Amino acid sequence: MNLSPAAENSVVAATKSCSVELVSESLESESSSSWSVRAHLEVAYEIQMLDNILGAENRALIEAGSTGRVGRPRRFIVVDENVHLLYGNALRGYFDHFNCEYELCVLPASEELKTMEAVFRIVDGLDDFGISRRHEPIIGIGGGVVMDIVGLASSLYRRNTPYVRVPTSLIGLVDAGVGIKTGVNFGHHKNRLGSYFSPSVALLDRAFLKTLGQRHVSNGLAEILKLALIKDAQLFRLLDEHAELLLDERLSGRTVTGEIVARNVFSRAVSGMLEELQPNLWEKKLERVVDYGHTFSPTLEMRALPELLHGEAVCVDMAFTTVLAEERGMVSAPERERIFALMRRLRLPIGHRLFEIELLEQALLETTRHRDGLQRVPLPVGIGGSCFVNDLTSSEIAKAAELLRYRDEVATSMSGKGV
């Protein structure tokens, strides 16, 4: 995939391009008839890196997803309630400035509330507000939870309503905001209900990170670390060399050095994610390196709610699979120590009290079903490489869990002594 910058702010196009073709065949006999239909759908959307998205001089948000129809613009805007507390006045000022008729749907957003009830709340609001189906896109502003909920609601509402993503968390900026997956939790299962539905555009503004809590910065850095470990050794080096700077400045570039590092990290993370997603948008191929850290973490995250954030659960999974890889000779002891040290410096967990054999076996069973009957577990090969395995055993998993627990306890003890 070619990733082309436009001026200083890079604009990345993620496109699955196919010519639209409809083929109909009829096979007739005296006793029966049958038809075969094949259609190819083009999917094209943009990811734009912007500064000051809510500035009166910036028309990107008011124009995003619009077909250019003349008349007063109308927008239905779904915003995370925490984001609304911080930016509600700025949002109103922005849309008032452009004489836009709008409705703000303020949505409580957490994994516990990431359900169909949230989707229905959006649909109720859409019906009350009334939008034209093609030229009045829904706008979602918030973290990854809001991105997923708004995307699913848009895919369902009138079967296909355009929407715009404005992620405000780090995990939204580098992960949930740039792909086409949508979803909500159901029962005890993460993202059990969902769809593949691309936004018209995703607008990425790192300025939102200035008000992001420190724990949520670490949460997003876990997804960046994921890409570094399985495909980008240079990204790992950047994280390793500048972990404290990235945390302190929240990747928002308060200093010249911080800005250079943050832009580099951010660009590599988004580009790396899109390189993996674009050839496989609908997950026809189930061996996906971006599933690293997502074999055991969905079950852990849902059982631990609300104790663990998504990226924290992913990091525990990555630590565990690093131990599995070390035991198979794919990762050296010094490499594992370096990986674990960086996780701690990024203020991420490497173990959890619920990470026991019963949970691990159940998680692997669920994941194997999700991956069509094969484990397809991504494991790191050194730092920056990966492979897939299908032969993990219960005894191997139990041993790795015990080793992880021991190393976590030792590290915690040494940390408590100031080492």
Report the alpha-carbon distance of residue 346 to residue 308 in Å, rounded.
15
User: With the CA atoms of 143, 170, 204 and 150 taken in that order, what torsion angle do they form, in degrees rounded to the nearest 10?
Assistant: -20
Q: Are 197 and 182 in contact (CB under 8 A)?
A: yes
How far out from the chain centre does Cα 64 lie? 21
Residue 181 bears catalytic tag: yes
- H/E element, 166: strand 163-167
Residue 25: how many other CB atoms lie within 10 Å: 9
Residues whose CB falls within 8 Å of the CB of residue 173, separated by 6 or more in sequence, listed in order: 167, 204, 206, 208, 209, 220, 266, 270
Catalytic choice (16, 114, 181, 226):
181
- Residue pointed to by tokens 């470990």: 229
What is 333-388 written as a DSSP string?
HHHHHHHHHHHHHTT--S--TT--HHHHHHHHHHHHHHTTTS--EEEE-SSS-EEE
Strand 11-16 and strand 163-167: the pairing is unpaired
**CA–CA separation, 33 and 27 (whole Å):** 6
- Alpha-carbon distance of 130 to 132, in angstroms, equals 7
Which tokens go with 354? Answer: 């619920």
Within 85-146, strands assigned E span 101-107, 138-142
User: Which residues are known to be catalytic?
Assistant: 181
